[in-house]
Structure 1
Amino acid sequence: MSISEPTDVELKILRVLWQQPGATARQIHNAVHANQDKNYSTTVKMLSVMLDKGLVHRNDSVRPQTFTAAVTRRKTQKSLVSKLVERAFDGSASSLVMQALSSGKPSKEDLQEIRDLIEKLEQRE
């Protein structure tokens, strides 16, 4: 089964599971919809859809059932960025980086991380 790209709501659920593997549907619901008046059954349905899509695993051997992410944060981010680069920046990663850096004020820490990454990439050449 191929894993499909997560929707915005599915990403919110995955973020919970990346931080809290083995969460119950109730825990996920409370984390995702903390200050919203959303129905619990909607979260359960979303988890069922995500299970069918291969985005989560369900442990049926415990009660209540628990869920874990079937995809890593890194792999998901990489896939989403690759698609964004292709769709919005005509395949140019540098255009994406330039847009990201010019659209906000990066922190000193962010800039240092970027410098470190550039140095690391240059050393590979």
Structure 2
Amino acid sequence: MLQRMSHPAPPKPTPSELELLRILWQTGPSTAKQVHEALATDRPDMTAATVLRLLQLMHAKGLLLRDESQRAHVYSPAQPQDALQTSLVSELIVKAFSGSGKALVLAALRGHVSKKEREEIQRILNGGKES
């Protein structure tokens, strides 16, 4: 009889780690230097050494994969953006909304969604495709 392996929940990234993950999801596998350059406009306070250290910590936590085949290591997210977002939203639903997805959606719709986003949500609810 086969037993289902239980996978540990992915680690929860800090706000700074999420920033770096967003860059990697947008740009694809990158070196620390490339991540630092992409981040420099929005976060001039973050040094190249800090970015490298964060990437190393994120790799140790299991948030990133690291290709060590070249001198400059190349980092990539360990999971797709939608998978991590789904995990974070699930945790939020349980913690803040007593497990109710409906309560989360209603809270989001109260002031956190633009008119254009509401129209897109309505199209999806009416059976249309996500744009």
Name the structure with the higher helix share. 1
Q: Alpha carbons of 1:105 and 1:68: their partners in 2 closer, same or farther (altered >3 Å)?
A: closer
- Asked if residue 66 in structure 1 is aligned to residue 88 in structure 2, the reply is no
Offset from partner CA, 1:5-53 (integer Å, 9 cap, x none): 1111111111111111121101112222424222221111111111111
TM-score by length of 1: 0.84
Q: How far 1:92 sits from its partner (Å)? A: 1.2
| 2:36 corresponds to | 29
| 1:77 corresponds to | 85
Instruction: Tell me which amino acid in the other structure corresponds to 1:100.
Output: A
Q: How far 1:101 sits from its partner (Å)? A: 1.0
| Aligned-CA RMSD value | 1.8
| 1:7 corresponds to | 14
| 1:53 corresponds to | 61
Q: Helix, strand or coil for the counterpart of 1:103?
A: coil
TM-score by length of 2: 0.80
- Number of aligned residue pairs: give it: 119
> Structure 1: where are the runs of 5+ without partners?
121-125
| 1:114 corresponds to | 121
Q: Percent identity?
A: 35
Distance in 2 between the 1:26 and 1:10 partners? 16
